[in-house]
Amino acid sequence: MRSERARHNKIIFSGTVGAGKSTAINALSDIPPVSTEALASDDTAKLKKTTTVAMDYGVLNLPDGEKVMLYGTPGQERFSFMWDILSEGGIGLVLLINNANTDPLSDLKGYLGAFKDFIAGTAVTVGVTHMDRAEMPGLDAYRATLAELGHQPVPAVFRVDARSRDDVAMLVKALLYTLNPGLIDA
């Protein structure tokens, strides 16, 4: 089992292309986030103009001077080899799924599969983004998919706008309480 020290104060943001990973890290980070955006090529270009090719990196500065890193994985699957490396030692996973994609529930399955081992040792919360543009599927469909895949208890699934700091912070708070409901919050 990893010790708390090795568990490197790092929160991982992952999810589909254009789900809002870079935006979410930007909303939460205390520093202007570092991002390796590039002009999108191939299919991604149809979805959006820029895409993160390596990773996003943001920081939460804690009052005692300690830092929590916020890592965003590249959305494109051809970079998925980086996911394990990036998540190694992380506190937990925030998964963002773009509800306006063709089959967001199968996206969800894909990402849960890719992060299976990481989630088993930590925790995950799911932010469903772009629900203002696509209201289907609803949160219950996400919960059902999670339950089907054996995620018991069902992780927190929130409707999220990645541009809202409050929404993104809520995903992280739920992640922390999932790891330990006994946390003191005042």
Ligand X SMILES: Nc1nc2c(ncn2[C@@H]2O[C@H](COP(=O)(O)OP(=O)(O)OP(=O)(O)O)[C@@H](O)[C@H]2O)c(=O)[nH]1
Q: Where are the extended beta strands (E) located within 65-168? A: 67-72, 92-98, 124-129, 157-159
Q: What are phi and psi of 126, to 5 degrees?
A: -115, 125
CA–CA separation, 71 and 58 (whole Å): 7
User: How near is the Cβ of 44 to other proteins at its closest, in Å?
Assistant: 27
Q: How many CA atoms lie within 13 A of 177 on its CB side?
A: 11
Q: Per CB under 8 A, which of residues 17..56 are in contact with other proteins?
A: none
Smallest Cα–Cα separation from 26: which of 15, 35, 17?
35
Tell me: does residue 20 bind ligand X (CB under 6 A): yes
Tell me: does residue 102 bind other proteins (CB under 8 A): no
Nearer to ligand X, 72 or 90 (CB): 72
Instruction: List the one residue from 132, 135, 148, 179 that touches ligand X (CB under 6 A).
Output: 132
Nearer to ligand X, 52 or 145 (CB): 52
User: How near is the Cβ of 27 to other proteins at its closest, in Å?
Assistant: 12
Residues in touch with Mg ion (CB under 5 A): 21-22, 52
CA–CA separation, 167 and 28 (whole Å): 10
Residues in contact with ligand X by the rule CB under 6 A: 17-23, 48, 51-52, 75, 129-130, 132-133, 161-163
